[in-house]
Amino acid sequence: PETSLSYGKFIANYDTSHLSTEFETTQPEDTTETTKPQARSKELDDIYKRAIALYFQSDYDKAFILLLSNIHTFEDNKDGAAVELYGDIYYRLKLPDIAMKYWVKAKEFGGTSDKIDQKIASGKIN
């Protein structure tokens, strides 16, 4: 419960004002793939916010389905917060091994909650 509150505060305070309305494409000079998170489109930001709302209503199935249809886009854009939420949903659906995979990936992307290290270390939402 305490972790959910912390995560909820993180999500509630997540500043989306810097997000552009179109995807940014960053091409480093050496043409290798960048590891910097890219901005979400307004549409993806809305999907993310709806998934968060469903998650906090304990409607994990609907949140999962909503994110599932867009997870590759979130991954392609290295959106750590969305990928962390995906892991949280897998955990709530009693699939901790898959949750761990997404938590680790979310940490690599950055932009996660302050609880990501605890989730990875314990294998659960504390």
* Amino acid of residue 88: D
63: closest CA among 87, 80, 40? Answer: 87
Ordered by where they begin, the domains of the chain are: 2-14+35-122 (1.25.40.10)
DSSP 8-state assignment for residue 32: P
Which residues have CB under 8 Å from 44's CB, separation 6+?
A: 70, 73, 74, 77, 79, 82
Q: 102 pLDDT exceeds 50?
A: yes
* Residue with tokens 């995906």, as numbered in its chain: 86
Q: 75 pLDDT exceeds 50?
A: yes
Report pLDDT for 38.
53
Q: Say how far apart CA 47 and CA 82 lie, in whole Å.
A: 10
Report pLDDT for 94.
94
Q: 103 pLDDT exceeds 90?
A: yes
Report pLDDT for 18.
38
The pTM assigned to this predicted structure is 0.65
Q: Say how far apart CA 104 and CA 117 lie, in whole Å.
A: 9
Percent of the chain residues topping a pLDDT of 90? 47
